[in-house]
Amino acid sequence: MALGYWRAGRAREVAEFELFFRRCPFGGAFTLAAGLRDCVRFLRTFRLRNADVQFLASVLPPDTEPAFFEHLRALDCSEVTVRALPEGSLALPGVPLLQVSGPLLVVQLLETPLLCLVSYASLIATNAARLRLIAGPKKRLLEMGLRRAQGPDGGLTASTYSYLGGFDATSNVLAGQLRGVPVAGTLAHSFITSFVGTEVPPDPMLAPATGEGPRVDLTVQVEVWLERVCTHLGLGVQEPHRGERAAFVAYALAFPRAFQGLLDSYCVHRSGLPNFLAVALALGTLGYHAAGVRLDSGDLLQQAQEVRGVLRATAAQFQVPWLESVLIAVSNNIEEEELARLAQEDSEVDIIGIGTSLVTCPRQPSLGCVYKVSWWLWGASPG
The residues, ordered by sequence, that sit 6+ positions from 255 with a Cβ below 8 Å of its Cβ are none
Query: How confident is the model over 177-214, as pLDDT tens digits?
Result: 999 999 998 899 999 999 999 999 999 999 999 999 99
Query: How confident is the model over 58-87, as pLDDT tens digits?
Result: 999 999 999 999 999 999 999 999 999 999
**What is this structure's pTM?**
0.93
User: How far apart, in Å, do the first and last CA atoms of the chain sit?
Assistant: 23
Of residues 128, 124, 76, 123, the one with CA closest to residue 102? 76
Burial of 324 (0-12, 13-18, 19+ CB in 10 A): middle
Main-chain phi, psi angles of 218, to 5 degrees: -65, -35
Name the amino acid, one letter, at 33.
Answer: A
Query: How confident is the model over 310-339, as pLDDT tens digits?
Result: 999 999 999 999 999 999 999 999 999 999
Main-chain phi, psi angles of 14, to 5 degrees: -80, 130
Reply yes or no on whether the pLDDT at 383 is more than 60.
no
Beta carbons of 191 and 247 less than 8 angstroms apart = yes
Average pLDDT over residues 26-52: 96
SS3 287: coil
Average pLDDT over residues 363-382: 82
Beta carbons of 271 and 303 less than 8 angstroms apart = no
